[in-house]
Chain A
């Protein structure tokens, strides 16, 4: 069971409202995505914690409906972004 791109984006934005989310369908099969997520909520958190926040936003779909999602997280630092 695949997920569409918009669905992933919506879930991430629900959990991290200030985030800029850029998702790409890597293989064009609705099953292998990459997501770049930039949010101020990542500041002061380790990479593991940041990635967990993104995984958590997907409410257990990661590893199930969603087979592969490469994640890149960045902190949004105030006015510079």
Chain B
């Protein structure tokens, strides 16, 4: 991974409390898995930044290496890798995601 790409990743993770590396954008996801995670964050009214890895091939490869995780999307909350689509979906359904956001002092709207 080149230094420029690594800096791009760390800058994004450092400057955004909730940061989603995804295919496409939150408004126009290009993959069902990326859409699922982006929708969960929208439902919870979490302020997040979506980073489109399809716009940057070296970022697309580097993020997999950086997180040691082979798939996209990847969610970071306060610099911590939380997981990919399956884990986020499961955490949303069983309430663990809300707990995590709460413990990290991220504002969100509780699921009723």
Contact A47 B69 (CB under 8 A): no
- Once A51-B83, A51-B84, A52-B69 are accepted as A-B contacts, the answer to whether A72 and B33 lie under 8 Å apart by CB is no
Name which of B8-16, B47-55, B85-93 contacts chain A: B85-93
User: How far is B66's CA from A61's CA once the two chains are assembled, in angstroms?
Assistant: 18
Q: Is the CB of A48 within 8 A of B87?
A: yes
Within 8 A of A (CB), among B15-63: 33
Number of B residues with CB within 8 Å of any CB on chain A: 15
**Cα–Cα, bound, A25→B83 (Å):** 23
A15 in contact (CB, < 8 A): no
A70 within 8 A of B: yes
28 A-B residue pairs with CB within 8 Å: A47-B83, A47-B87, A47-B90, A47-B91, A48-B69, A48-B81, A48-B82, A48-B83, A48-B87, A51-B83, A51-B84, A51-B86, A51-B87, A52-B68, A52-B69, A55-B69, A55-B70, A60-B70, A62-B70, A62-B71, A63-B64, A63-B70, A68-B33, A70-B85, A70-B86, A71-B86, A72-B86, A72-B90
Apart from A47-B87, A51-B86, what 15 extra A-B contacts exist at CB < 8 Å?
Answer: A47-B90, A47-B91, A48-B82, A51-B83, A51-B84, A52-B68, A55-B69, A55-B71, A62-B71, A63-B64, A63-B70, A63-B71, A70-B85, A71-B86, A72-B90
Chain A residues within 8 Å of B, Cβ to Cβ: 47-48, 51-52, 55, 60, 62-63, 68, 70-72
